[in-house]
Amino acid sequence: MEKVNHPQILAETAYVKKADMTQATLDGIGNTPLLNLTKIAEKECPGVQILAKAEWYNAGGSVKARPALNMVREGIKNGLLKKGMTILDSTSGNTGVAYAMIGKVLGFDVELVMPKNVCGARKQLMSSAYDAKVVYSDPLEGSDGSIIVCRDMYNKTPEKYFWPDQYNNDANWQAHYKTTAPEIWEQTGGKVTHFLAGIGTSGTIMGVSRRLVEYNSRIKTLAVEPEESLHGIEGLKHMASSIVPGIYKESDLSGKISVKTEEAYNMVMRLHDEENILVGTSSGAAVAAAVKLGKTLNEGVVVTILPDSCECDITHGEFHCDK
C-alpha cells in the first residue's frame, strides 16, 4: 500500500497532468493511491485502519474525472454526443473541470452551470485553462439552483447540447463500479470491511457500494451527508432539503452518517497537521465520518474517498477555503 508524505508536491503533480492534453491523459484516469491514515486512526480508533483514496491524483484533480469520462464516452457510444455538439452540465466545480479537460482533449465545446461561490481556482481552470463557458447560478440556491438553470438552457436548444445530467445518469455510478471499487478491493487485498463516501450526485457511494458487496456481501457501505441543510461542505448534499439525485437508492446502502460543517473543517486541519495531506472539505467530512464509525468498532478496514485537494489557507489553527 502506498504511503504519501508530500501532498503539496503531489497535488501539483495533478496540475502538471492537466496541461498534458493527450488521449493518454484520459486513459490514465483512475488507479489512485490508497493512503493509510495511521496517525488519526491510532489516536481515535486503535485496532481499526482508516484508508483513503487520494483522488486528486486524477487528471483534472478530483474524483469526478472518473464519471465525467465515462458519461462522455457512453454519450459518444450511444450517438447522443456528436461532432459539433456542446457538453452542458451543472456542477459544484470538480465535474466541470473534468468535462472541460475532456472536451478540450476530444474536441467538444463545454458549457457549465455552477453556483457563483465555487472555489476560485476551479473557475479559473475551467474557463482560462480549458476554455469552457461558465454560467453562474445564485450561490444561495446551491447546486439545486445550478440544476434548474442547466435544465432551462438545455430545454431552449436541445439540439445544441449533450447534457450528461450527472444526477440522473447511470454512467456516473457505473464509472465507480468499474474502476474505483475494483481498485479498493485489490489495494486492500480483499480486506475492506466498511466503505464510506460523501453524497453529491451519489455516483461514488452507489457505484463503489454495489461492486464491493458483490465481492463480499458482509461489507458495510455508508453515505456521508452534511448534518445541516445550510452547510459549508463543498460538493455534498443534505438530502432532506435537496433535489434527490435519480441515481441515489438509499435502500442499496447499509446506512448514513451525518457530519457537521465544523467537524469537517476540523478534520481538514487535522489531516494537514497530523497526516500531512491537504484536502477539500468533503474529504474532511469523509474522514470525520470514518472516525465516528471507527470508534464503534474493535477492528476493521474502513475505506473512504478524498475527492479533491483544495487551495486552502490553513493558518493560526483556522481554515479558509479560497472562494
Ligand X SMILES: Cc1ncc(COP(=O)(O)O)c(C=O)c1O
Taking the CA atoms of residue 73, residue 11, residue 190 and residue 213 in that order, the dihedral angle to the nearest 10 degrees is -50
Which of 60, 164, 200, 294 lies at the binding interface for ligand X (CB under 6 A)?
A: 200
Active-site pick, 17, 18, 53, 64: 64
Residue with cell 486513459: 27
Which of 30, 142, 203, 226 lies at the binding interface for ligand X (CB under 6 A)?
A: 203
Stretch that binds ligand X, among 35-43, 157-165, 194-202, 254-262 (CB under 6 A): 194-202
Helix, strand, or coil here: 303?
Answer: strand
Residue 255 Cβ, how far from ligand X at the closest point, in Å?
16
Judged by beta carbon, residue 235 or residue 300, the one nearer ligand X is 235
| Per CB under 6 A, 209 contacts ligand X | no
| Per CB under 6 A, 55 contacts ligand X | no
Report how far residue 32's alpha carbon sits from residue 9's, in angstroms, rounded to the nearest whole number.
15
Which of 7, 142, 164, 280 lies at the binding interface for ligand X (CB under 6 A)?
A: 280
Establish whether 256 is a catalytic residue: no
* Interface with ligand X in residues 80-139 (CB under 6 A): 92, 94-95
| Per CB under 6 A, 64 contacts ligand X | yes
Beta strand spans in the chain (E): 34-36, 48-54, 86-90, 109-115, 133-137, 161-162, 194-198, 220-226, 255-259, 300-306, 312-315, 318-321
Q: What is the DSSP letter of 308?
A: B
Helices (H), 216-305: 261-275, 281-294
Active-site pick, 90, 209, 282, 309: 282
Helix, strand, or coil here: 50?
Answer: strand
* β-bridge mates for residue 89, sequence order: 112
* Interface with ligand X in residues 230-269 (CB under 6 A): 234-236
Establish whether 43 is a catalytic residue: no
Report how far residue 37's alpha carbon sits from residue 222's, in angstroms, rounded to the nearest whole number.
19
Binding residue count for ligand X, defined by CB under 6 A: 18
| Per CB under 6 A, 304 contacts ligand X | no
| Per CB under 6 A, 193 contacts ligand X | no
Catalytic sites, residue numbers: 64, 282
Binding site for ligand X (CB under 6 A): 64, 92, 94-95, 198-204, 234-236, 280, 282, 307-308
